[in-house]
Amino acid sequence: MFSEQDGRLPSATMPTPAQGMTRRHFLERAVALGIGGSAALAALNACATPGSAGASLTFWNLFGGGDGVRMEQMEDNFRKSRPDVQLEAVTLSWGAPYYTKLAMAAAGGRPPDVGVSHMTRVPLYAANNLLDSFDLDELAKVGITEDRFLPDIWKRAQYNGKLYAIPLDTHPFVMYYNVDICAKAGLLNADGTLKPLEGAEAVMDAFKRTRQITNYLGLAVDTQDVTPWRIFYSLYSQLGGEVLSADGRQLTIDNAKAIQALQFMSDLTQKEKVASSTLDYAGAVAAFGSGKAAFHWNGEWEVSTFLPQKNLKFNMVPLPKVFDLNRAQADSHAFIFPHQIQVDPAQRKAALEFIAFMLKDSLTWAQGGHIPAYLPITDSTEYKQLQPQSNYADAAAHAVVDPIAWFSGSASELETQAGSAFQSLLAGQFTPQQALDQFTGAINKLLKITPPF
């Protein structure tokens, strides 16, 4: 996600309340973070409300659905293990509402003790002085050290040589497959696992063979939202392509590689018709869940949807290597310290102990599909026996995250613009070149905007 030896984002200074943090400053920061003015004002007013007195550890997150259930279970486990620490956990709406309030709380000097962030958001927040860095010595005291994480994910947690995030997981784009349909198509090994699918021809052939069995789809995939970006970025990265320069200021699209990736996407819905051009997210999940498609491309988090379905026999693997490299679009959830004007040593110590506990309890988190970042968990026998979740654990080492820029990251303008361009491609309204032209045109417009920070 981000390594800061080359200074990809300009440093920024943020006026603290002691320096006169005005409503105008708040709104300027809101623009820098892609937040609407009305939302920023609402968050500012919320942050100005006095908090309750007394010592307690506050934790903000954005987890709903199955993730929310598992996070609450982990929070309860912490409370049982540490009755001396009063944990107040707050769940806010996913996406812009969460990041709005988090940014305004940190800027206004009333942040939670611990927060959660997508790692793709960390560089921007660190650049705007909205995060406190972690003390490596203090982390080591609670068992959090570099050697207990994959090198790349630890590197992405840094900005300007300091650690600003503690990775909780990796959540990659993966492939689900219907065991019964794939067996009928002759795609399984003797042990019932999927035979390796490598190369565009082999992958497309598997989709075509299974479509003949389902009489509907070989691949169920969302073509309406941001999923088209995840497909493109995975395939384009498999060709070794990059979207932006290291400093996030120049478009570096390799046209030939981008067209190759987009042509494969177009073939899925137009030439070969193994996927539908009209399925939205819910429709794609439903099509796979009901046995109308043999394969499903999505984030691994939908494992929670499919496991309770008794009539569905499925398994999961990393996204196939359609082109040259093992790559799949991904992001990570991570724990952060929103910036505090004054740090209470006892509070900070409790916060570190809380984060350490959550990492060590992340086998619970893994049940929802996310790959734990803490290696003592992913290396454990218990995790390896967790099926089908552990079957795609290798995807964490091949994750490719969204390029770093002020308009990029999870739930960002980059993903929105890409989704719009590539939806039209999948719908047959654009050629690969037209889709690429719309995407690059939108990104070039964003690049011409001077980053407000």
154 and 178 together in one domain: no
11 and 153 together in one domain: yes
Contacts 24+ apart (CB under 8 A), 68-71: 70/364, 70/365, 70/367, 70/368, 71/365
Question: How many separate domains does the chain show?
Answer: 2
Contact in structure between 366 and 358 (CB atoms under 8 Å): no
The residue range of the domain holding 220 is 172-330+412-448
Assigned domain for 440 exists: yes
221 and 241 together in one domain: yes
369 and 428 together in one domain: no
Assigned domain for 326 exists: yes
Q: What is the pLDDT of residue 8?
A: 31
- Find, among 264, 249, 202, 232, the residue nearest to 328 by Cα: 232
Judged by DSSP in three states, 260 sits in: helix
Backbone angles phi, psi at 219, to 5 degrees: -125, 125
Q: What is the pLDDT of residue 369?
A: 97
Measure the CA–CA gap between 319 and 176, rounded to whole angstroms.
9
Q: What is the pLDDT of residue 452?
A: 58
311 and 370 together in one domain: no
Assigned domain for 65 exists: yes
CA 7 to chain centre: 23
Burial class (CB in 10 A: 0-12, 13-18, 19+), 439: buried
Assigned domain for 405 exists: no
Assigned domain for 400 exists: no
Burial class (CB in 10 A: 0-12, 13-18, 19+), 22: exposed
Assigned domain for 406 exists: no
Measure the CA–CA gap between 316 and 311, rounded to whole angstroms.
16
Per-residue CA distances from 311 to 288, 290, 332, 356, 367 (Å): 12, 8, 31, 39, 20
Measure the CA–CA gap between 215 and 213, rounded to whole angstroms.
6
- In this structure, the strands spanning 314-318 and 169-178 are antiparallel
Residue 342, number of CB atoms within 10 A of its CB: 5
Dihedral over alpha carbons 255, 259, 261, 262 (to 10 degrees): 130
Question: Tens of pLDDT along the chain (453 residues)?
Answer: 333 323 333 333 333 333 344 444 444 455 444 444 444 444 444 443 333 233 589 999 999 999 999 999 999 999 999 999 999 999 999 888 899 899 999 988 889 999 999 999 999 899 999 999 999 999 999 999 999 999 999 999 999 999 999 999 999 999 999 999 999 999 999 999 999 999 999 999 999 999 999 999 999 999 998 999 999 999 999 999 999 998 889 999 999 999 999 999 999 999 999 999 999 999 999 999 999 999 999 999 999 999 999 999 999 999 999 999 999 999 999 999 999 999 999 999 999 999 999 999 999 999 999 999 999 999 999 999 999 999 999 999 999 999 989 898 877 889 999 999 999 999 999 999 999 999 999 999 999 998 755
The per-residue DSSP string of 77-131 comes to HHHHH-TTS-EEEEE--TTHHHHHHHHHHHHHT---SEEEEEGGGHHHHHHTT-E
313 and 419 together in one domain: yes
Q: In the block, which residue shows the tokens 């490299």?
A: 325
CA 338 to chain centre: 19
124 and 247 together in one domain: no
* CA atoms within 13 A of residue 246's CA, in its CB half-sphere: 5
304 and 322 together in one domain: yes
282 and 425 together in one domain: yes
CA 318 to chain centre: 16
> For 188-231, where are the E strands, in sequence order?
217-220
300 and 362 together in one domain: no
292 and 181 together in one domain: yes
Assigned domain for 176 exists: yes
CATH of the domain at 17: 3.40.190.10
Burial 64-85 (b: 16+ CB within 10 A, else e): eebbeebbeebbeebeeeeeeb
Assigned domain for 407 exists: no
208 and 84 together in one domain: no
